[in-house]
């Protein structure tokens, strides 16, 4: 049941990343929280598979910190790719 807290904390971290990375107009508002929540749940699952219990602080720290570490560069790369794609499409369509 505590995995729901991991999903919630990671989604909140993803929302924070969404609003701090420039270019948020190029991506949906739910994309970053969903990516972060997926990563947070994955980290929680891996930790439980390795026998780390909920009484350990490492499972909590990792399920909050790793989504930040994954979502921030993923969103930065996605934003650059989207800007490059939009520029190519404007050139292709001969739009100023």
Confidence of residue 11 (pLDDT cuts 50, 70, 90): very high
When pLDDT is averaged across residues 31-54 and rounded to a whole number, the result is 96
pLDDT at residue 8, as a whole number: 95
Q: Kindly tell me if the per-residue pLDDT of 96 is higher than 80.
A: no
pLDDT at residue 52, as a whole number: 95
CA gap 45, 29 in Å, rounded: 26
C-alpha distances (whole Å) from 74 to each of 4, 39, 41, 42 are: 23, 12, 17, 16
CA gap 80, 68 in Å, rounded: 18
When pLDDT is averaged across residues 67-77 and rounded to a whole number, the result is 95
What is the pTM (predicted TM-score) of this model?
Answer: 0.88
CA gap 17, 7 in Å, rounded: 15
The token pair that represents 22 in the structure block: 């420039």
pLDDT at residue 1, as a whole number: 82
Helices (H), the chain: 3-20, 31-49, 57-92
């Amino acid at each position: 049941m505590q995995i729901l807290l991991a999903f919630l904390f990671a989604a909140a971290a993803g929302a924070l990343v969404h609003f701090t990375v420039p270019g948020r107009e190029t991506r949906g508002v739910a994309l970053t929280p969903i990516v972060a929540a997926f990563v947070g749940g994955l980290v929680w699952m891996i930790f439980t598979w390795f026998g780390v219990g909920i009484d350990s602080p490492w499972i909590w720290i990792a399920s909050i910190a790793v989504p930040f570490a994954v979502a921030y560069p993923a969103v930065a790369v996605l934003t650059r790719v989207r800007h490059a794609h939009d520029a190519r499409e404007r050139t292709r369509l001969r739009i100023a």
